[in-house]
Amino acid sequence: MLSDVMEDYLKTIYQIQARSGPPVSTSAIATALDKTPATVTSMLGTLEERGLITREKYKGAELTREGETVALEVLRHHRLLEAYLAERLDYSWSEVHEEADALEHHISEEFERRVAAALDDPAVDPHGDPIPSADLAPLEDDDATPLSTREVGDTVVVSRVSDRDREELEYLAEAGITPGTTLGIVDVAPFGMVTVETDDGGEQSLPESIAEAIYVVDADTDGTDRDAGSDVQEAGNA
């Protein structure tokens, strides 16, 4: 059996690896988990012994297939919980992350199945992140890029939004920007300020930090299979 702590390390390594690719540095993990680098080095040793990661000294870590499976399991729990809380317990999308973090290590497989069944096997969580399937098959990486990398004139659809910052999420819910929203980029000002036009014709100016947290795809690349779970995306963003 793996401890909660080990599960959190594996989840974190997975997420950094998904963004920046392996190897994942000690300090990146330390920052993400708010631990000292020395602590991380020690735990990486344990995870390596258990066959969950491979490691090159002074370079960084990489998940093994087994480690990846554990990470996907935890991520499935996390995202199913987020979806359930938003859909069935009236949580807003800015509140679900912390609650899911606290519960993800403690639910049974039976609970996981029942929650998934209650929601009819949702494909994405309230932030637009894909929910790993029950068989824990690897997730394909998506082609979404931050809004901050796009240019004036682009028309894009919001694919997902980083769920790490409550205030950002509240701001975006207020602005009516959630997964599925279509945005036209009207202006890009100095310091990364992006002005967008929403479906309803309104204009919003978004600071760079927000524009970096919004992942978008081209409008014509839209609605392929990501939208299967858009009922969940729509829910509880008041």
Interface residues with Mn ion (CB under 5 A) are 73, 82, 109, 112, 125, 127, 129, 163
191 binds, among a copy of itself, DNA, Mn ion, none (CB under 5 to 8 A by kind): none
- As measured in angstroms, the least distance from the Cβ of 173 to Mn ion is 14
163 makes contact, choosing from Mn ion, a copy of itself, DNA, none, with CB < 5 to 8 Å by partner type, with Mn ion
For residues 233 and 227, what is the distance between their CA atoms, to the nearest angstrom? 9
Interface with a copy of itself (CB under 8 A), residue from 19, 59, 88, 164: 88
Choose which of 2, 30, 33, 118 interacts with a copy of itself (CB under 8 A): 118
Quick one: which of 155, 168, 182 has its CA closest to 211?
Answer: 168
Q: Which does 99 bind (CB under 5 to 8 A by kind): Mn ion, a copy of itself, DNA, none?
A: a copy of itself
Burial of 191 from C-beta contacts in 10 A (0-12 / 13-18 / 19+)? exposed
Give min distance, CB of 104 to a copy of itself, in A: 9
Alpha carbon distances (Å) from 233 to 44, 179, 222: 35, 6, 15
Judged by CB, which is closer to DNA: 20, or 36?
A: 36
- Closest by CA position to 84, among listed 66, 102, 96, 71: 96
Tokens of 13: 């390594």
Nearer to a copy of itself, 29 or 235 (CB): 235
Radius of gyration over every alpha carbon of the chain, rounded to an integer in angstroms: 18
Looking at 74, 83, 86, 115, which residue binds a copy of itself (CB under 8 A)? 115
Q: In this structure, which amino acid lies at residue 38?
A: A
Please report, for the chain, how many H helices and E strands are present, in that order: 9, 8
Q: Does 91 bind a copy of itself (CB under 8 A)?
A: yes
Shortest approach of DNA to residue 121 CB, angstroms?
A: 32
- Rounded least distance, CB 56 to DNA, Å: 8
> What is the C-alpha separation between 237 and 28, in angstroms, rounded?
31
